[in-house]
Amino acid sequence: MKRTQVAIIGAGPAGLMLSQLLAARGIDTVVLERHSRDYVESRIRAGVLEHQSAAALRAAGVGARMDAQGMAHSSIDLAFAGAHHRIDLEGLTGKKIMVYGQHEVVKDLIAQRLADGGDIRFEAEVNAIEGLDGDQPKVRYTHNGQPHELVCDFIAGCDGYHGVSRTSVPSNALKVYEHRYPYAWLGVLAEAAPTSDELVYARHETGFALYSMRSPSVTRLYFQCRPDEDPEAWSDAALWAELHRRLETGDGWTINEGPILQKNVAPMRSFVVEPMRYQRLFLAGDAAHIVPPTGAKGMNLALADVQVLAPALVRWFEAGDPRGLDSYSEVCLKRVWRVQRFSVWMTRMLHAQPDADAFEERLQQAELASAAACESAARHLAENYVGLPLEAPAT
């Protein structure tokens, strides 16, 4: 049996960042991760960091490689009706975004935690969470084939949608909101130099497509597909042909081709659970909410959660003040629902809707035209895309 102050389940951005923030204030944590280190460091996920997320990583001492290798972007492009339309993020908000893969953020956090002597246990399978209604909850897990028990003051469930944390809460204590979309994204990772300085969000009559990048030599591309699409049914030539068709607008801009390193289908859903706290268990990241990827908000919401939770835990340990913990769920959910609204708006504006009639399609075109031509509409998009300000916790 081991004792710690905060048991963190999940070594994704939320769990690792929480451990980093708490360690800076002398609070002991143990991070339990069911997968291997190689697995979590190579798991390809979103790659857009909001202005505040990038600033938070720098403040936590893990931003040096991001600033050296990441790509700061001051705008995005909307491509529709045969033309590109620039949304000037920096001009409208004074802020930029950073393109830097989630797996790179995870690598940086793991390296720093281990360098600082942090306790991260990979391949640790959590079997049960007990005693949440008391002041000494326990996490039972298996590591290296042996059973272990971790006693703590609080538990942070940062283990994703399929993790054990949320399912350890009585079902009648949570309210679940969920919506599944009738389409998915087929994603392609290619060894090809980017041909655009900015991300391109394209609305084509056959469906949405996204042009993004991971490095000066690697591009990440997506296009709308069926939820049951088989990526292996697509040859490389067919994938490139479809991406050319949806992304290119006839103005001479094209995309580079190269060896395809990975292809996969990502389903799309919106999910929120309320509240994000049960007794001494706090949910963060995908364990509490999932957004459609169109607005590039998943990792950013996870990092925002722990920027609320960490100072609340510090106040409790340093001063016995529970107000930050008591308001954690309310504060986070305000942001979660605003981000859900923006992500759903972006999704509906850019995707071909299977059951849309001609009237709805014309409205969708008008929405895109407004975002591109109307300064107030463009500002609304830009302010949400670079990231909403964090709300101050209860005082």
The residues that bridge with 150 in the sheet, in sequence order, are 2, 139
- pLDDT of 318 over the 80 cut: yes
- Confidence grade of residue 18 (pLDDT, cut at 50, 70, 90): very high
Residue 89 resides in a domain: no
pTM of the model: 0.94
Torsion on CA atoms 72, 74, 80, 85, rounded to nearest 10: -150
- Does residue 135 fall inside a structural domain? yes
Catalytic site residue 289?
no
Secondary structure (DSSP) of 363-393: HHHHHHHHHHH-HHHHHHHHHHHH-PPPPPP
What is residue 120's DSSP assignment?
E
Which domain covers residue 295, as residue numbers? 2-72+97-178+268-352
CB 253 within 8 A of CB 181: no
Both tokens assigned to 258 = 């190269």
State the pairing for strand pair 154-157/6-9.
Answer: parallel
Q: Give the CA distances from residue 23 to residues 67, 74, 124, 337, in Å, rounded to whole numbers and listed in that order.
A: 23, 33, 21, 30
**Number of structural domains found in the chain:** 1
Query: pLDDT tens digit string along 362-381?
Result: 999 999 999 999 999 999 99
Q: Which of 13, 51, 73, 138 is catalytic?
A: 73
pLDDT value at position 395? 55
CA distances from 134 to 62, 205, 316, 318, 333 (A): 35, 57, 16, 20, 25
Least confident of 81-85, 184-188, 213-217: 213-217
Whether residue 232 is contained in a domain is answered as no
Mean pLDDT of all residues in 176-203: 95
Give the mean pLDDT of 143-153: 97
Asked if residues 293 and 316 have their Cβ atoms less than 8 Å apart, the reply is no
| pLDDT confidence tier of residue 99, bands split at 50, 70 and 90 | very high
- Whether 100 is catalytic is no
Choice among 297, 328, 351, 393 that is catalytic: 297
Read off the pLDDT band of 264 (50, 70, 90): very high
> Could you give the dihedral angle defined by the CA atoms of residues 35, 43, 56 and 66, in that order, rounded to the nearest 10 degrees?
130
pLDDT of residue 52: 97
Label residue 392 by pLDDT band (50, 70, 90): low
Among 154, 173, 255, smallest CA distance to 209 is for 255
The active-site residue out of 100, 201, 222, 278 is 201
Nearest to 13 by CA among 38, 49, 51, 67: 49
Q: Is the pLDDT of residue 109 over 70?
A: yes
Q: Is 385 a catalytic residue?
A: yes
Which residue is catalytic, options 13, 137, 293, 393? 293
Collapsing DSSP states into helix, strand and coil, what is residue 288?
coil
* Strands of 309-350, DSSP E: none
Closest CA to 314 of 114, 203, 154: 154
Q: What is the pLDDT of residues 20-44, one digit of tens each?
A: 999 999 999 999 999 999 999 988 7
Give pLDDT tens digits for 73-89.
999 999 999 899 999 99
- Across all residues in the chain, what is the average pLDDT? 95
For residue 344, what pLDDT is reported?
A: 97
Our measurement of the distance from residue 380's CA atom to the centroid of its chain's CA atoms, rounded to an integer in Å, reads: 21
Which alpha helices (DSSP H) does 116-235 contain, by range? Answer: 164-167
User: Across residues 300-315, what is the average pLDDT?
Assistant: 97
Rounded-to-integer distance, Cα 280 and Cα 164, Å = 15
- For residue 91, the model assigns a pLDDT of 97
In degrees and rounded to multiples of 5, residue 111 shows phi and psi of -60, -45
- 203, 205, 209, 162: which is closest to 188 by C-alpha? 209
From first CA to last CA, the distance across the chain in angstroms is 36
The predicted structure's pLDDT at residue 394: 57
pLDDT value of residue 72? 95
Token reading at 374? 């109307």
- What Rg do the C-alpha atoms of the chain give, in angstroms? 21
DSSP state letters, 222-251: EEEE-TT--GGGS-HHHHHHHHHHHH--SS
Task: Report the sign of the C-alpha dihedral through residues 137, 141, 143, 148, in that order.
Answer: positive
Q: Determine, yes or no, domain membership for 252.
A: no
Q: How many CA atoms lie within 13 A of 58 on its CB side?
A: 12
Domain annotation covers residue 192: no
Domain contains 58: yes
pLDDT at res. 393: 61
CATH number assigned to the domain comprising residue 104: 3.50.50.60
